[in-house]
Structure 1
């Protein structure tokens, strides 16, 4: 947090100066009242009366000016601290490997970025400012009381130790409470995010009651945590209010007796009573301020936990990548060859891939088939270096990708995944993803045409500028897949990966897209699918079983082997082939 505060040092410095000035004005006003009572009311001095009136006006105007500058600069600084923290946190989250997101749910990360950063904003903004102001005011008033009458000032000083004990006890308990509230909030956010994102699935399975029950459980836990927080605050807050009142009673009684006896002036008594009343606000609000400070510190600890997570997969050292600091995409992508060299991969002790080898020359196509869980998508994850191989190497242009920068690796390929994700933005901006500042409109339209999405896009109101809903709400599965394919084609990478990305398309559209891709000899292709029609035209097809290559060859060669590929072909086309044969 220190570095974010230092970035705004001049704002905090100027705001702090104005805070001190504003507080000093508040502290010194009772001295004007003292003069007004002793010199004007008792002494009947009209010159001092005019002076004191002017001092009251000056104090009011000065305090207003100082308060404005203080509030603006301190709140602005808190905003900038939280904004910088959120930005760095998102940047760090983007740098983490895919495995981190497999183990940490979205709701918790959303709570860190949104709620906990908001608590830090409060801490470094108005809460920190208020705590500082209350501290300066409290000790300033004590000093003024001592200067007015040290004997009478003993009265409020006697009440300080119990107040300090109660405040420290409250802070300790509220800190524990807020840790629990933060955890329960993350769990509740997770449930809400999942159910809103998957609302169509919930409705389709009539699961509203069960999901609402799950929500009620998390909501109740969150409410109970807040009730515990409120109870702890309520148990202590009356004491924080009662003790100052008792203190004021003693001040009035003892001070009034002293004034009657002539030990102190009436002006001193009035000023002292004024201080005893005004010193109450820092005490009464101490519990509330400490709770907000606790929230901010607890929130920052949770943010720090995320920020301290080290990315397991990072760019290769400079001596491996080459001397240039700027990724040289051109040098790595032109040859367009990718190879798996005896690649094995395991996760948490489970073997997923074993001794996978293949080479795809520029412009060639590799088809990959296999049952669910055979390891097809894992190959994509290894190409993108979302994970590192356990054994063997993935090579681009003959170079191990572990010796390349992430920018070079990701620039080499363009992926269309099984789970199509479209952002809540225009169709054009979705296709431009990753190249929004450089990709022209013509490239976007050509890509949409190549993905056979032009017809339905132009029928939509606003066409290419139509804003589609979150995750593509309002579009059919096939339409979303075609836009996702258009996005991949617009990138113009050397390797196009289609990971079961035509499953929602009709046979005619799929065939048209396959022909479009086959005619494009400038890029290599990896086509992963369950349908024979998706891979049959590939230059080589590999069939995976239990993470190993069980069969490989062309479509004709694999049919001749009469193995797994042939069985899949018969399951999909056998009835049609036999019907055609009997018809003849």
Structure 2
């Protein structure tokens, strides 16, 4: 879809606001036209030998001069409203599209790059919406001023337009450079934000490798590169603005040179000369900002292109689909998924579940098993056997290609929509925490009672850690939980999961960063909850021994299932895992 079509759709999203803003600017730019005429009348009266009759003209000029300042408060109200509506529409449509995709495939960009695009490129589009409204007022002034000037003196008008024509031609030549500099600036900004995200994500790995100095040096290099590119773009932009602004002096000088002879001949009055000077300067300002608007339009295309990366092949029209932005009034109530009585968990049946990664001979094939209420089932297997993939496909985080899943015998059509709290909860291998307090991370979907919070903390074995923290549960953990250890991150994520009181709990190697004592306590406390059903990925002996059923995967295929004693006697792959990879666990 063309840039102009996308922009036009944004204009139509809030037509009342946009048309009101245009009306304000039309009135604002009509005032200089009237003011110029009144100024001409005033000075012609002053210069004439006839009795002065300029009181009414002066009074009208004063009234006209007050109109624009009177409209400013309304413009200052409408401009941010238009800007924020455009940003909110684009952001919400992007998020809505991402939420329709399988979670593990939704975001093809790094989190830092995604934030950069959502922040900077949506802002660029919002600013253009404001600039485009001013465009109509400038067009009104340009047309009105040219008509008045041409009716008075064609020669002086044409001389005034010569520099303006040069500006338009030069601007068209420089547009390619503007677009190239904007691409480079946005790319370096994304690199810096991505680096920041990676540093916070890998803080422990950086410390273990004592790579702090190297990481800081790399970060400084990226910032130096970004500074260089941003400075080059800014200097180029300022040179363009300066050139266009300084052309005002050239226009004024040309008008004086050409007008001198005409004034001397008596065919041009002093008031008319002043009108030409005032109109020419304002025309120059209008045309110079005209060039900037064209430059911003080119930048607008870059911004739409960068936001289109979120859509992963979907049409760009998805960006501007009309949706409620909820910028005003009460926010909509978040209604949690209700646990229906007939949906209370008894068993989950998985039949012939399959998924293959694109361009790779990896995935899972025809996996079938059953989970019964109150049991612990452990998925185990070697590296790359499909353990995590199985969990993700089961939860709808990856799109199943074959197979069915039944909840209490009822077919689940949309796994991603159904297998959420209160039906199920999931903690991935690398949990994501937010840079707030521990309490805020636990209570993502309020309300919870204090008793529920305390129970979640107890079952996650977090109580000793909170007692050791100065602010306890109100401790701010920093980006991605950087102030916590690996084990604390996993247990905070587990507590967040336990707070939902879901029927089915799914863990992906939850205890990998826990010491043996803490791990034993955690699983013991979970076992005390007779109504809880768990499906966990693990190779830890302590969990394999507790499991009611073990699912053994190899090359994406379920090759055996049973208790650990049965599998030790009958399954060579499990024997290898038990005596090899699991021997030290």
Q: Is the 8 A contact 2:346 2:372 kept in 1?
A: yes
| In structure 1, distance between residues paired with 2:138 and 2:196 | 39
Pick closer, same or farther for the CA change 1:468–1:228 going to 2, 3 Å.
closer
> Which residue does 2:111 correspond to in 1?
106
User: What does the per-residue CA deviation read over 1:352-378, in whole Å, with 9 as the maximum and x for residues that have no partner?
Assistant: 223322111122221122222221111
1:13 paired residue among 19, 33, 53: 19
> Which residue does 1:463 correspond to in 2?
472
User: What does the per-residue CA deviation read over 1:90-121, in whole Å, with 9 as the maximum and x for residues that have no partner?
Assistant: 33323332343574322332222111011012
User: What does the per-residue CA deviation read over 1:124-170, in whole Å, with 9 as the maximum and x for residues that have no partner?
Assistant: 12x22443443333333222212333343232244444332222233
2:487 is paired with a residue whose SS is helix
> Which residue does 2:38 correspond to in 1?
32
Q: Is the 8 A contact 1:535 1:541 kept in 2?
A: yes
Q: Is the 8 A contact 1:167 1:286 kept in 2?
A: no
| In structure 2, distance between residues paired with 1:295 and 1:130 | 18
Q: 1:141 and 2:152 equivalent?
A: no
> Which residue does 2:295 correspond to in 1?
291
> Which residue does 1:388 correspond to in 2?
399
Q: Is the 8 A contact 1:30 1:275 kept in 2?
A: yes
**Offset of 1:514 from its aligned partner?**
1.4
> Which residue does 1:81 correspond to in 2?
86
What are the residue-to-residue correspondences of 1:473-484 with 2, within 5 Å? 473-484=482-493
| In structure 2, distance between residues paired with 1:58 and 1:177 | 45
What are the residue-to-residue correspondences of 1:57-206 with 2, within 5 Å? 57-101=62-106, 103-125=108-130, 127-206=131-210
Q: Please, which moves more after superposition, 376-385 or 506-515? A: 506-515
2:513 is paired with a residue whose SS is coil
Gaps of 5+ in 1: 312-324, 577-584
Q: 1:364 and 2:375 equivalent?
A: yes
Q: Is the 8 A contact 2:27 2:137 kept in 1?
A: no
Q: 1:347 and 2:347 equivalent?
A: no
RCO higher in structure (CA 8 A, sep ≥6): 2
| Cα root mean square deviation, aligned | 3.1
Q: 1:540 and 2:549 equivalent?
A: yes
Q: Aligned residues, how many? A: 558
Pick closer, same or farther for the CA change 1:91–1:183 going to 2, 3 Å.
same
> Which residue does 1:269 correspond to in 2?
273
Pick closer, same or farther for the CA change 1:104–1:420 going to 2, 3 Å.
same
1:395 is paired with a residue whose SS is strand
Q: Is the 8 A contact 1:498 1:527 kept in 2?
A: yes
User: What does the per-residue CA deviation read over 1:483-512, in whole Å, with 9 as the maximum and x for residues that have no partner?
Assistant: 222211221222111211112222222222
| In structure 1, distance between residues paired with 2:196 and 2:583 | 46
> Which residue does 1:410 correspond to in 2?
420
| In structure 1, distance between residues paired with 2:12 and 2:301 | 18
Gaps of 5+ in 2: 1-6, 316-334
Q: Is the 8 A contact 1:336 1:524 kept in 2?
A: no
2:547 is paired with a residue whose SS is coil
> Which residue does 2:321 correspond to in 1?
none
